[in-house]
Amino acid sequence: MSSSQWVPITAIGNLPLNEGRSLLWQGHDIALFNLGSRVIAVENRCPHQHGPIVDGIVSNVGGRVTVTCPLHTRRICLDSGQIIKPATAGPCVRSFPAKIEDGIVLLRKGLSEAEAA
């Protein structure tokens, strides 16, 4: 995939450290999390009852970076999208490729459902 498909979104400084900020982009409600060394973009929708996970507290569960949904404290692994506490086999939070380059947060453009899966 060529780098031209990466779209600059915002300066990393616009994302508070260890917090989430929401982004409306290409029809998606996305939660961007600034973890200091990297940025993570996931769908802003908790698999439980659609809570806004962007408003959750960034946490650590057994060494995994998670976010805790503010509504009913499901803990969601930010790397796998899985609810890991309470452990559930159910649906995942969808994640989007994101990276930081020269202090700018980039997302990949034209992402179809198939690519994301």
Partner 1 sequence: MKQRLAVIGNGMAGVFTVEQILKHNHNFDITIFGDETHVNYNRILLSSVLAGEKEMDDIVLNDIEWYRANGIQAKLGLRIDKIDVAAKTIHSVHGCTTAFDKLLIATGSSPFLPPIEGIDKQGVFVFRTLDDAKHLLALSGPGVKAVVIGGGLLGLEAARGLQLQGCSVTVLHLGTHLMDRQLDFTGGQFLKRKLESLGIQVLCNASTTAITGNGHVEGLRLANGAEVDANLIVVAAGIKPNAALAKLAGLQVNKGIVVNEYLETSHPDVFAVGECTEFNGQLFGLVAPLWEQGKVLAATITGNRGPVFTGYTPATKLKIMGADVFSAGDFDEQREGVECVRLEDPALGIYKKLILKDNKLEGVILVGDASDDHRFMDWLRNGTDLAAQRRQLLSPAAAAGPGEDAASLPDSHTVCGCNGVSKGAIIEAVHAHGVCTLAQLKDKTRAATGCGSCAGLCQSLLKAVAPDYAEEKAKVLCECVPFTQDQLREIIRSQKLKGVQEVLDIYGNGLGCEVCKPALSYLVDVVWQGGHNEDRSARFINDRVHANIQKDGTFSVIPRMRGGITSPAELRKIADVAEKYNVPLVKVTGSQRIDLLGVKKQDLPKIWEDLGMRSGQGYTKGVRMVKTCVGSTFCRFGTQDAISTGVELERRLEDLFTPHKTKLAVVGCPRNCAEATVKDIGLIGQEGNWQIVVGGAAGKGVRKADLLITVETTEEALEAASLFFQYYREHGVYLERTYDFVERLGMEKVRRETVYATDAAKQGLLDRLKRSKDRASDAWLERHNPRPFQFEPIEVAPNGLVQIETEEKAHV
Q: Which stretch binds ligand FES (CB under 6 A): 43-51, 59-67, 85-93, 97-105?
A: 43-51
Binding of ligand FES by 49 (CB under 6 A): yes
* Residue 113 C-beta: closest distance to partner 1, Å: 19
Residue 113 φ/ψ, nearest 5 degrees: -55, -40
Cα gap 66→77, rounded to integer Å: 4
d(CA 92, CA 76): 9
In three-state secondary structure terms, 92 is: coil
Backbone φ, ψ for residue 102 (5° rounding): 50, 40
By CB under 6 A, residue 104 contacts ligand FES: no
Q: Which residue, chain included where needed, has tokens 């929708």? A: 45
Q: Does 82 bind partner 1 (CB under 8 A)?
A: no
Whole-number minimum distance, CB 33 to partner 1, in Å? 10
Q: Which of 12, 40, 69, 105 binds ligand FES (CB under 6 A)?
A: 69
Is residue 74 at the binding interface for ligand FES, with CB under 6 A as the rule?
yes
